[in-house]
Amino acid sequence: MNKENFKLLLKKAGFSKRTFSEHLGVKYQSVNSWGNNGRGIPYWVESWLNLYIENKNCNELKELLRKSGVCDK
């Protein structure tokens, strides 16, 4: 994953680099350095963010359905 894709996924997930680092329990300096000066972005970050976004979208849809009375749970 490149730096631009990382920024895009962070934005879609609703994270800044700081909030992402806090959510993961990783030092901000580490997350901030990913993609800079030859430092790669860890292999797991892309799939983690994609799953987080998918789960967030599913939860939002479920809440809309619950509010509309289509489902109770």
- Predicted local distance difference test score (pLDDT) of residue 45: 97
Q: Are 2 and 9 in contact (CB under 8 A)?
A: no
pLDDT in tens, 46-69: 999 999 999 999 998 988 888 887
Q: Model's pTM, two decimal places?
A: 0.84
Q: What is the b/e burial string over 48-59, where b = at least 16 CB atoms within 10 angstroms of the residue's CB?
A: ebeebeeeeeee
In-domain check, residue 59: yes
In-domain check, residue 46: yes
Domain that holds residue 58: 3-68
Domain count, the chain: 1
Rounded mean pLDDT, 22-51: 94
In-domain check, residue 73: no
Q: What percentage of the chain has pLDDT greater than the value 70?
A: 96
Q: Are 9 and 46 in contact (CB under 8 A)?
A: yes
Rounded mean pLDDT, 32-51: 94
Q: What's the residue count for the chain? A: 73
In-domain check, residue 36: yes
In-domain check, residue 45: yes
**CA separation for the pair 4, 57 (Å, rounded):** 22
**CA separation for the pair 15, 54 (Å, rounded):** 14
pLDDT in tens, 6-15: 999 999 999 9
In-domain check, residue 28: yes
